[in-house]
A = this chain, B = another copy of it.
Amino acid sequence: MSQADQGGRADSGGVAVIEPRPAEEGRDLFGIAELAEEFGITTRTIRFYENKDLIHPARVNGARVYTRRDRARLALILRAKAIGSTLAQIRHFLDLYGEHGEGQKSQLEYVVSESGKAIEELERKRAMIDDTLGELHAIRKTCIDCLKEL
């Protein structure tokens, strides 16, 4: 509670500090409200994810500032959630996407092992989805045929 706990601002009506040109299509920094709207979630949710250690935005005067990497990370989180992963799983998951470029041998082996497991998991899930899709198509067809006879 000493240097950065008061909050501030990063984007609203007319910004002049971190966004000199108003409508530059390919931007590098984002405010929390921007991301929230873009992804259709609330700022509370984004802060909650930070609390769960899923994203780590920079701070400017206490306000969160997100880079393109942070934004991509958020997109990954939401996609994983849509697939049906819990936040705890996603946290584990995101480690695989992290810096494995200059990793130790043990770190590389870890990623190979864990990504293998994740791949198996997802393939199981996809198989179940395919089964379900097959059944739904069959049910649908039955109904359509039945309707045709009326």
Does A4 sit at the interface, judged by CB under 8 A?
no
Known: A84-B84, A109-B147, A146-B108. A125 touches B118 (CB 8 A): no
B83 contacts A136, C-beta separation under 8 Å: no
Chain B contacts of A84 at CB under 8 A?
A: 82-85, 125
Copies of this chain, whole number: 2
B108 contacts A143, C-beta separation under 8 Å: yes
Interface of A, secondary structure class, is helix
Q: Would you give the shortest CB distance from A79 to chain B, in whole angstroms? A: 5
Q: Would you give the shortest CB distance from A27 to chain B, in whole angstroms? A: 24
Q: Would you give the shortest CB distance from A144 to chain B, in whole angstroms? A: 6
Does A20 sit at the interface, judged by CB under 8 A?
no
B111 contacts A143, C-beta separation under 8 Å: yes
Across the interface, A133 reaches (CB within 8 A) one of B97, B109, B119, namely B119
B137 contacts A133, C-beta separation under 8 Å: no
Q: Would you give the shortest CB distance from A13 to chain B, in whole angstroms? A: 36
Across the interface, A140 reaches (CB within 8 A) one of B111, B129, B131, B146, namely B111
Residues 92-150 of A at the B interface (beta carbon under 8 Å): 96-97, 100, 103, 105, 108-109, 111-112, 115-116, 118-119, 122-126, 128-133, 135-137, 139-140, 142-144, 146-147, 150
Q: Would you give the shortest CB distance from A1 to chain B, in whole angstroms? A: 39
Chain B contacts of A36 at CB under 8 A?
A: none
